[in-house]
Amino acid sequence: MKHFIYKNICRKTMIIAACAMLAVPAVQAQDWSANVHGLIGNKNLDEDDWGKFDNQVELGASFDFKMNDWPLSIMIGTLFSADAEDNGSSAFDESGVTIETHIGIRKIFDIGNSPVKPYVGGGLALIFADLERRRGGSSFFTETDDDEAAGFWIGTGIYWTIINKLNIGFDIRYSEAEVSLFSNDLEAGGLHTVMTFGYHW
């Protein structure tokens, strides 16, 4: 299962990286603009559904681009969150993981010649979730279940373009999609609050 999760993360990250690399020659032209960002922060899930795993560390990446005469940018991104509980050799170690792919649109607001750029956006969320229980760290006594679902995301944020077109900012999103794990329906989306850092073309 861990191998599958890591493959899932790598595949989504590679998609974003490929989009960014393919777009570089185009966005370097004067008619295009784009941003590629890394993200680090926190994801809050429904406490009733996830219990001790409702507060997870989150990492991710996003890429958005547009022609200068387009009113909206196209955005694709992935977010990986996880938390684990080590209960000692005589009890079950537990872990919870979610991976989200966000595809949608983003409206970036230009404030004159200001380097400050607020934005709003939303679209489709594809969410993978996994729960695992392992007794005393042993792979022989492991229970695991995973599921995938489609839902939506909405969000807002702001970034500052500083020296050499480097960006730094803050992003907050809400996502929603319901998965089934161990015969229970769980809300796999949540509230994402992350810092962003990246590059503007």
What string of pLDDT tens digits covers the 201 residues of the chain? Answer: 444 444 455 555 555 555 555 555 554 556 788 999 999 999 999 988 888 888 999 999 999 999 888 999 999 999 999 988 765 554 566 788 999 999 999 999 988 888 999 999 999 999 999 988 776 555 556 788 999 999 999 999 999 998 878 999 999 999 999 999 988 899 999 999 999 999 988
Q: What pLDDT does residue 2 have? A: 46
- What's the confidence (pLDDT) of residue 10? 52
Q: Which residues of 111-147 are buried (b: 16+ CB within 10 A; e: fewer)?
A: eeeeeebebebbbebbbbbbbbbbbeeeeeeeeebbb
Question: What pLDDT is attached to residue 52?
Answer: 83
DSSP-derived 3-state class of residue 31:
coil
Give the model's pLDDT for residue 143.
83
Q: Decide yes or no: CATH 2.40.160.20 for domain 2-200.
A: yes
Q: Sort 39 into a burial class: Cβ within 10 Å, 0-12 / 13-18 / 19+.
A: buried
Q: What is the pLDDT of residue 21?
A: 52
pLDDT of amino acid 131: 87
Q: Is the pTM of this model over 0.95?
A: no
Residues with Cβ within 8 Å of residue 3, at least 6 apart in sequence: none
